[in-house]
Structure 1
Amino acid sequence: MKTIAIMAQKGGTGKTTTATTLAYYLAEMAGPVLLIDADQQGNASQIMGAYDPLEWGTEKLLEPTPGGAEIEDLKQTRSWQPVKKYPAVDVDVIAASAALMDANMEVAADAVNDQVHRIKERLETVADRYKYVVIDCGLLLDMAALNALVAADLWIVPVKPGGFEVDGLQRVQEQLQELRELNKGLEMWVLPCMFGKSNAHRDVLQHLHSLGHRVTLATIRRAVIAESYTAASMPLPVYSPRCGVVRDYEKLAWEVMAWSGEKEDTKE
């Protein structure tokens, strides 16, 4: 099982679209996949049709172990079949709600129990059940995000072609070094999102490569459909399976599978 955390500390970079679309494609091509929404805004939960403010979700993963709810009790299985001749795509989702804000504060105030390995310990109990876990983190390095990054094998940072977003990678690099004190094997990739074909965007992409981070082979193009589909309560590949952006994300999924040692046609 490989765990992938998606986190960017600038809004509007395509973070949640990346998390939900990547989870969908990994489930389609390799499966089974668990998507955890660790962002108190709950946008990933809404896109996957799993948001329910009255149900328990990710906040229960942040309770001390032993104790709290198990993944099996929290997950919702979402299923789509956009093309009838192909099998349905299933993704297990643990949703977020406003209660996650209170959970973050409770974990930060807990000076007795371990604070940062709670999600990791929960995931270890289902390591033989999932091939991939994708965690959508919030913009702040709160306790939910910190737990996610301590549990992760890979941290993907979506970056769009703006000066502030690119400059913010310096702080991300500093955080990565600090996180490796808790998670020595954590890798980080930079994912270019919302890029066009202009000379300015090509210059930004070249600059990203010069910074020394691993930049993904996949570059996600900018498209209106990727900015407007979110109210449909379905992943982007289901909403618009033929748009160019989903092909970009499909390439990212293949890149992740190659990194994890997967081969083609691996789904059982």
Structure 2
Amino acid sequence: MPLLHVTDMSHNFGGLQAVSEYNLSLDPGQITGLIGPNGAGKTTIFNLITGIYRPTRGSVRFDGEELVGKKPNETAAMGLARTFQEMKLWRHMTVLDHIKMARYSKLSYGLLGAFLDTPRRRREEREATDLAMEVLKMFAVDQFADQLVVNLPYGAQRRVEMARAMVIQPKVLLLDEPTVGMTPDEMMAMIEVVRQAHERFNLAIFLIEHRLKVVHELCQHVQALVFGQVLVEGTPNEVQNHPKVIEAYIGEQEVEF
């Protein structure tokens, strides 16, 4: 049974059909890539899955439960985490506080516990800090824990955003162009970070990416999206030189991954 199962999902913005009869089956531990030109509807699909938009038609099931109608905070609490193409970081908050804040949805001591400084509050705060530091170390940004995120290099900020998504211990991670704006060295470091997270947690990952090197390195399965419809899907090598993909997206007969 797929962990994330999207069936015949469509969405209209007024008279414009942004997504048409989209389907996805994502199994535990699987990495699927979504490629396509700008405006193809890739981020819209992420927004439909996570509850930012409600599909006009179709079904989105996560771990057997219907997601359509749920809000983003509800889908996140169920174990569906995401990052954004444009980073959503608070510039004047420390790296550690970013990660701990994401974890607070899992804490149970409540307002009264915080006011009275109960043993439960102290225990859960210690556990949240320990987990946050563990995740920061996994993403090689633990040395920046007490620094303001605005002072970090761009590649490190991207890893902080991924660490924030991972601290809720998701079952599925949606990555929206995680290497955008990175240098080649930063890109390769991010590939390795994603690979380690996938292997350590048997994480299912759904990945939007323009840099085909990243897709080839990470993904077992790829969908090519054009005008809101899946044009071709298969392994990276199968999609790589498909004539329809070359014509609609890549524009070259020889594609270097």
TM-score range, shorter chain: 0.3 to 0.5
**TM-score computed with the length of structure 2 as normaliser:** 0.33
Q: Which has the higher strand share?
A: 2
Q: Rg larger in 1 or in 2?
A: 2
Taking structure 1 as the reference length, the TM-score comes to: 0.32
